[in-house]
A and B are shown apart, each in its own frame.
Chain A
Amino acid sequence: AQSVTQPDIHITVSEGASLELRCNYSYGATPYLFWYVQSPGQGLQLLLKYFSGDTLVQGIKGFEAEFKRSQSSFNLRKPSVHWSDAAEYFCAVGAREYGNKLVFGAGTILRVKS
């Protein structure tokens, strides 16, 4: 079965610093991978996705993520964090064999200090 691990429950970074949020998945075949962001009191917004092709994908709001098959990872990065990036971030994995079921990680809460 699919599983997703986000090892960091909370991360605090200074405004302007770089950011990397970790995501590891467990699945044998080629997965579909997603990052979502959830601001307080809001629904989830899709940041970016990977399902084939170039392993470095660009998303909205200046985020990018890199798929590393050998490490079963799909880490999210941003070179310079803004205070408005403070939110909760979720990694999710799907696969053709599982229909349109997405399995989510437990989330990482990002705090930005000025």
Chain B
Amino acid sequence: EAQVTQNPRYLITVTGKKLTVTCSQNMNHEYMSWYRQDPGLGLRQIYYSMNVEVTDKGDVPEGYKVSRKEKRNFPLILESPSPNQTSLYFCASSLRQNYGYTFGSGTRLTVV
């Protein structure tokens, strides 16, 4: 089944403890992206990648890192999480620029 898989689905962590949210797609898509969703704000792009080893900042990149060493994987790293990073995170992938994204099921992160 063609899909974007994120793990974990739920995560509660403490301030300052490094964490990684994994994202993998099995559709051979070139484009991948991370979004965070907050009530009343819709989805805001954190980082995106147009191909292996090519990444760029979105609208809200502060406090996040990404890497794209393989085409299928695009992990999101929070080196020192803070409570304002409590949010619902989505990974997405797309074959081409105007195809629209396929989204993962989301990761609900709580930082206490």
Contact = CB atoms under 8 A, between A and B. Distances in A.
Interface of A: 4, 9, 32, 34, 36, 42-46, 49, 51, 90, 92, 94, 96, 99-107
Given A32-B98, A34-B100, A100-B31, A90 B43 contact: yes
Given A43-B106, A51-B98, A100-B97, A105 B90 contact: no
B42 A106 contact: yes
Given A43-B90, A96-B97, A107 B42 contact: yes
B43 A104 contact: yes
Interface residues of B, number: 28
A94 B43 contact: no
Interface of B: 4, 31, 33, 35, 40-45, 48, 50, 56, 58-59, 90, 92, 94, 97-106
A49 B100 contact: yes
Contact of B102 (A9, A46, A103, A104): A46
A44 B104 CA distance: 8
